[in-house]
Amino acid sequence: IGVTGVQDVCSSDLHKFLPLTRAEGPGQRACVWVQGCPIHCRACAVPLTWSQAGGDEITVEELAHHILNGPSIEGVTFVGGEPFAQAQPLAALGQLLKTAGLSIVTFSGYTMDAIKRSKRKGWQDLLAVSDLLIDGPYVQALTDLSRPWVGSSNQRYHFLTPRYQHLEASLARIPNRVEVRLGRDGRVMVNGLIRMEDLKGLLGDLTRFEAD
């Protein structure tokens, strides 16, 4: 995500963009997966996002245009990769989107404490535009899909503005979702939270259905 018109912000890369999803946070949202992650959680579901190479460069203004002229949504989710590795451009994007009335949900493998202690201005700027921060690395030994949008029990929800505070008491009643899309090139794309054995079964069922 390169930024034009913003000083001292380096270019970075986009791994994937979904203009509409119901699996990556509250309500109907767009979702931005950034490319590059220094944390490397064991058994990460998206290890292809670790490398700094391989993403698609796009300016903040271009991405904001795609989001604001896309489907009707209530907000945008930043995930990765590691959003705080690209904090400044995402903060700039978040500022544009919040001006248009959209909410921001940000995931991070870093903890809230580590983010707050950081002296990096970009980190504080991204935190400032986030309505909900979901923090902590995925820990395979603590795998737990009973709560929405998180994969392990150590991960926490931080309601930073009033936007989603009403959800705090009802998180256990919000179901996880998984979305399966078939691309024009025949590739199957999956997002959301599902156990790997369940995903294999689902994809196997889809294959058998298409064969029939």
- Average pLDDT for runs of 10 along the chain of length 212: 42 83 97 94 88 88 95 97 95 96 98 96 97 97 94 97 96 90 79 70 53 33
- What local confidence, expressed as pLDDT, does residue 48 receive? 87
- What local confidence, expressed as pLDDT, does residue 72 receive? 97
- What local confidence, expressed as pLDDT, does residue 9 receive? 38
For residues 151 and 142, is the Cβ–Cβ distance under 8 A?
no
Q: Which amino acid is at 183?
A: G
CA-to-CA distance for 68 and 10, rounded, in angstroms?
23
- What local confidence, expressed as pLDDT, does residue 3 receive? 44
CA-to-CA distance for 171 and 167, rounded, in angstroms?
6
Q: Which amino acid is at 56?
A: D
- What local confidence, expressed as pLDDT, does residue 201 receive? 63
- What local confidence, expressed as pLDDT, does residue 205 receive? 58
